[in-house]
Amino acid sequence: MAMNENTAQTFQPIAARKAPTATEGPIAWIRINLFGDWTTALMTLLVGAVLLWILPQVLSWAVFRAAWAPDYEACRVDGVGACWGVVAEKYRIIVLGRYPFEEQWRPVVATSLLLFMLVGSCTRAFWKLWVLPAWAVALVIYFTLMYGNLLGLEKVETDRWGGLPLTILLASLSMMLAFPIAMVVALGRRSNLPAIRTVCTVYVELVRGVPLISVLFMASFMFPLFMPVGFSIDVLVRVIIGITLFAAAYMAEVIRGGLQAIPKGQIEAAATLGLSYWQTQRKIVLPQALAMVVPSIMNNFISLFKDTSLVTIVSLYELTGALSLALNSDANWRPFKIEGYIFIALIYFIFCFSMSRYSIWVEKQANKGRAR
């Protein structure tokens, strides 16, 4: 009986309440992030006003009023903005340095190969054992192409190498050579043997305490005084040795930080398993430590890449030096130095920014278990 009464009733919904304020969508994002409360809104207005004042002027100078053709007369016309013609005109000297004009395909090919190997080594596909011989072959091809004197290629002395290829060569070669040295020094610094610990500590503190300029100056000009009479080394080799020793000290500190973060329990467990010192390091400690410090090592690499700009003081014309070379001897284009600077700043930015995004990706991969 009660049920019969109930079945006669239809469902009467109550009046709908107003929908809650949206939290998704672009309008909501703007409201929350730009006008969340009155201080935020004030900041948005202030910063927005400043930006609206500056940005049109910058854009007008850099894009709308700019001269793009390689014609310096057009650039000197009144009211013209940036003169990107200087890039169009001089980009070959800026990017490739003093390398002989007809042979400039060689550094382009060689550097592309090196970049391919470098970028590839960053992806998972390359983290196999065949990578090491592949690198050896790639390096041999690289130096053959750059130096020549074989297979009918004309010989090009190392002091003609310049521009972006030289920057990439210096940075990557020094890093690769510095890595084993840094590992040994880092392990040595944590060793129980006082003599080895002292030697490694002295080396690291000495090298980290001086600016790269003095290391470069010493490497390139004092080096011949340190060698027996008649023994002469190429300038490029001297500079690479200097930069390698410099980079190794910084990397040793980074690796030492990683070693310090390994809990003592790991080493004690390895000892109970009967592993020797070197076995422990090779199988237990170093794999964990190195995985932890890859982002810091990438940071070191980025700094090294930027620091290669200092080799200009020893007359090796990498990217920054090649710009001075290109513009200083040519009075027609010299007033537009700032555009040249912006151009190579852009090149450095692209390289360094990509590397830093990569290091963030690696960090995320390594810390997948700890993300919150």
Q: Looking only at residues 212 through 241 of this chain, which bind another protein when binding is defined by CB under 8 A?
A: 212-214, 217-218, 221-230, 232, 235
Per-residue mark of binding to another protein, 327-346 (x: CB under 8 A): -xx-x--xx-xx--x--xx-
Q: Name residues contacting another protein, limited to 132-161 (CB under 8 A).
A: 157, 159-160
Per-residue mark of binding to another protein, 85-114 (x: CB under 8 A): --------x----x-xx-------------
Residues 6+ apart with CB under 8 A from 300: 175, 247, 250, 251, 254
| Binding test (CB under 8 A) with another protein, winner from 61, 105, 353, 361 | 353
To the nearest whole angstrom, how small is the minimum distance from the Cβ of residue 52 to another protein?
12
| Binding test (CB under 8 A) with another protein, winner from 56, 205, 273, 282 | 205
Measured CA to CA, the distance from residue 133 to residue 319 in angstroms comes to 30
Measured CA to CA, the distance from residue 324 to residue 311 in angstroms comes to 13
Is 192 a binding residue for another protein by CB under 8 A? The answer is yes
Considering the complex, state which of residue 46 and residue 140 has its C-beta at the smaller distance from another protein: 46
Residue with tokens 């060793």: 191
Measured CA to CA, the distance from residue 319 to residue 97 in angstroms comes to 7
Is 361 a binding residue for another protein by CB under 8 A? The answer is no
DSSP readout, 244-303?
A: HHHHHHHHHHHHHHHHHTS-HHHHHHHHHTT--HHHHIIIIIHHHHHHHHHHHHHHHHHH
Q: Name residues contacting another protein, limited to 273-332 (CB under 8 A).
A: 302, 306-307, 309-310, 312-315, 320, 324-325, 328-329, 331
Considering the complex, state which of residue 240 and residue 302 has its C-beta at the smaller distance from another protein: 302
Measured CA to CA, the distance from residue 325 to residue 345 in angstroms comes to 16
Q: Name residues contacting another protein, limited to 21-50 (CB under 8 A).
A: 29, 33-34, 36-37, 40, 43-44, 47-48
To the nearest whole angstrom, how small is the minimum distance from the Cβ of residue 51 to another protein?
8
Is 195 a binding residue for another protein by CB under 8 A? The answer is yes
DSSP readout, 37-54?
A: SHHHHHHHHHHHHHHHHH
Q: Which of 286, 279, 260 is nearest to 183 (CA)?
A: 286
